[in-house]
Amino acid sequence: MTARTAIHNLQVAQPLLNFINDQMLPATGVDPVVFWQGFSDIVTDLAPKNSALLAERDRIQTAMDAWHTANPGPVAQGKAMKAYRKFLGQIGYLVPEPRNAQATTAHVDAELAKLAGPQLVVPILNARYALNAANARWGSLYDALYGTDAISEADGCGKSPAGGTGYNPLRGAKVIDYCRHVLDRCAPLKTGSHVGSKGYAVKDGQLVVTLANGKNTGLADAKQWLGYTGDAKAPASVLLVHNGIHLDLQINPSTAIGKTDAAGVSDLMVESALSTILDLEDSVAAVDADDKVLAYANWLGILQGSLSEQVQKGGSSFTRTMNPDRIYTRANGKGTLSLPGRSLMFVRNVGHLMTNPAILYKDADGKMKEIPEGIMDAMLTVTCALVDLQKKKTNPLRNSRTGSVYIVKPKMHGPAEVAFADELFGRVEKVIGMPPSTVKLGIMDEERRTSVNLKACIAAAKSRVAFINTGFLDRTGDEMHTCMLAGPVMRKGDIKNSTWLAAYEKNNVTVGLQCGLRGRAQIGKGMWAMPDLMADMLKAKIGHPLAGANTAWVPSPTAATLHALHYHQVNVPALQKQMEKAVHKQDAKALRDDTLNNLLQFPVVAKEDATWSEADKQKELDNNAQGILGYVVRWIDQGVGCSKVPDINGVGLMEDRATLRISSQHMANWMQHGVVTEKQVKQTMERMAAVVDAQNAGDAAYQPMAGNFANSAAYKAACDLVFQGKAQPSGYTEPLLHAWRLKVKAA
């Protein structure tokens, strides 16, 4: 039985109470009396509103189910689409587009408002991941290329020399050549090439490069050189800028790499993850007070600059802490230049759906209920952020240099829910004495009702919006659940080519530019989920900046360093400016009509067209079941909310609850429409459990599922996600996962 303490209208679990009273409030200077009274009042006033919004989701889904039962199959363009849109307006799914939806967000850091670059997303429960992400602002391009498949291992260029171990100079030479060509593209010389260069020095306030032929030259654009470290005659590093982001050429002839280089160059450091989301949501398994305390303490430690972690690597142990800022001598030799050494940090709160037993509150009928977890997250993560706002401007470990707090709010359905988030953060600001609109909001455009009303969503929090981001995975899961009764959904691979998806990705950028987010906020794109396939990422992910997005998600610091190269290839701020002009020239009503007609196309086929072969259907079932089991077994048994999970072909995928939502909804839909039978699904789940067991054979903490179906909580949880999938609110997986994880922890 969890020990609790009653405070006003709340009953707080002891571990959380201790953290708040003993760590958070002393660190922030907030009066405990003011905090607890204000917190209790917020919960009392806003918990019923939270519940009403969830009831509205249920009402709308019931109406959608009835419509689809009466009108099965895809919605054809023309009269059918017109009637469908009229219906959506009548039930409150579609709202009138506001006339004034211009964002007014102020005091947004340059990383979000002015610059373009990669964004990391990491689980906040893991201190090591959090620190790695914070420090991923700068990454070694040499290491990123050498250690991944971005450089081919053909022709003797393996990561170790043929028949040996350690460093392979053939591979190293390819890495060095690649990086010199990066310099040629990003900071070209007046004459000649960086390839084979023999020296870099500062003479009379100018950067002088000695070419392979022994002649000296300078940069084609001298303004690209910003500064250096070390001695001017023999600098230790040279700082360059291109498209607003930085490259730091490291020169150290005493290192193993530098001594083999004609110019003594030992590395090329690339400004990489400009921003990072520390996640309390899809990538964590945080189900009770103990879990939430760990999350909040890590967030507080990041903002204090005190978080550290003991790391074992290469047979040695060291303490990982947060990197300081980087200091350079200015190009003219007068004074210093300081650049951030760390990513700008967001924290992602949970959405409006979940509750948490860490705090109970008394409702209007006198019953004790679990607190809406989003309200708890808002109160605690924003209060923690006071420690950053209170730092002096000279503090080398500041997060926001403009005095803002950055919160990503996921899984909001439409503008009323965004308005509720705006109200919630406003109430928290008032209690803790924070100026209005200090909290900046990241809106995840990952639910269908948000996509079709995106402009109204931005208008609902126009003084806070600092980020909109597409979430293809959750968006697909919501699409499937919304149209559950419309008919069989397409195979997952075919959905990627469906009409609604292309319209969705384009609409997010278009609406962001229409609402004035250029120069005020990030317009982002989703995750590259295969951290081992960096060569493929380098080919594919340039599509995100080319679409006008000034950030896109990556799964690791290494991926951030490689993806950063795309923002040197595409000048996103300039591209956004061009796109904005084009958008404003278009007829707004015609553009919205065309977009809505495409956005509202369901990824379903008519029943008579669900003619997949038995082999194809089984392949789809196998893929779904293996993915569900591989993720759920770690979530339930080990409390791991995000990890690299092998897919059915053994390819490691970064999995979180969003992928789980798709797979479970897909299987539930196919059972609903008789594409597959319940018996088929059960047999597939049992067979794939054995596959997942084999994939995890090397994990000493792993508990096998096969042969233990009656007792394996993880297996039963995975089955519940599928067989109860149709009944789950919006198809979300959290309620079942949390319930099963709590049972395992209690046992």
Are 555 and 532 within 8 A, CB to CB? no
Tell me: pLDDT of 254 over 70: yes
Tell me: pLDDT of 1 over 80: no
How far is 171 from 145, CA to CA, in rounded Å?
9
Question: Mean of the pLDDT values across residues 710-722?
Answer: 98
Q: What tens digit of pLDDT does each residue of 557-603 get?
A: 999 999 999 999 999 999 999 999 999 888 888 889 999 999 999 99
DSSP state string for 430-454: HHHTPPTT-EEEEEEE-SHHHHTTH
Residues 627 and 591 in one domain: no
Residues 73 and 179 in one domain: no
Point out the catalytic residue in the list 180, 320, 342, 348. Answer: 348
**Is there a domain that residue 116 lies in?**
no
pLDDT band at residue 529 under the 50/70/90 scheme: very high
| Secondary structure (3-state) at 239 | strand
DSSP structural state of residue 353: S
Q: What is the pLDDT of the chain when averaged over all its residues?
A: 96
Residues 86 and 145 in one domain: no
Global model pTM greater than 0.85: yes
| Structure tokens given for 105 | 């967000």
pLDDT of residue 315: 79
**CATH number of the domain encompassing residue 647:** 1.20.1220.12
**Is there a domain that residue 291 lies in?**
no
Looking only at the bridges linking them, the beta strands covering 225-230 and 326-330 are antiparallel
**Is there a domain that residue 217 lies in?**
yes
**Is there a domain that residue 186 lies in?**
yes
Question: Mean of the pLDDT values across residues 384-396?
Answer: 91
Tell me: pLDDT of 655 over 90: no
Residues 671 and 591 in one domain: no
* Length in residues, the chain: 747
Give the domain range for residue 228: 138-271
401 has catalytic annotation: no
Residues 220 and 255 in one domain: yes
Tell me: pLDDT of 143 over 70: yes
Q: What tens digit of pLDDT does each residue of 595-637 get?
A: 999 999 999 999 888 999 999 999 999 999 999 999 999 999 9
DSSP state string for 528-592: ---TT-HHHHHHHTTHHHHTT-SEEEESSHHHHHHHHHHHHHS-HHHHHHHHHHHHHHS-HHHHH
Residues 592 and 617 in one domain: no
Number of domains observed in the structure of the chain: 3
Helix axes 657-672, 614-638, angle to 10 degrees: 140
Are 522 and 551 within 8 A, CB to CB? yes
**Domain final residue pick, 271, 288, 309:** 271
Q: What is the CA radius of gyration of the chain?
A: 27
Point out the catalytic residue in the list 109, 656, 693, 720. Answer: 656
**Is there a domain that residue 533 lies in?**
no
Q: What tens digit of pLDDT does each residue of 162-195 get?
A: 878 899 999 999 999 999 999 999 999 999 999 9
Considering only the C-alpha atoms of the chain, give the largest distance between any 2 of them, rounded to a whole number of Å: 85
pLDDT of residue 431: 98
Are 30 and 428 within 8 A, CB to CB? no
**CATH number of the domain encompassing residue 29:** 3.20.20.360
pLDDT of residue 679: 98
pLDDT of residue 307: 96
Residues 217 and 357 in one domain: no
| Structure tokens given for 677 | 């039978």
pLDDT of residue 17: 98
Residues 370 and 233 in one domain: no
Sheet with 355-362, edge to edge strand ranges? 4-7, 10-13, 355-362, 368-372
Residues 618 and 506 in one domain: no
**Is there a domain that residue 736 lies in?**
yes
Q: What tens digit of pLDDT does each residue of 286-333 get?
A: 999 999 999 999 999 999 999 999 888 777 888 999 999 999 999 999
Determine whether 275 is exposed, middle or buried from the number of CB atoms within 10 Å of its CB (0-12, 13-18, 19+). buried
pLDDT of residue 235: 97
657 has catalytic annotation: no
Residues 360 and 497 in one domain: yes
Tell me: pLDDT of 198 over 70: yes
**Is there a domain that residue 285 lies in?**
no
The torsion angles phi and psi of 627, rounded to 5 degrees, stand at -65, -40
Question: How many alpha carbons fall within 13 Å on the CB side of residue 408?
Answer: 31
How far is 287 from 373, CA to CA, in rounded Å?
10
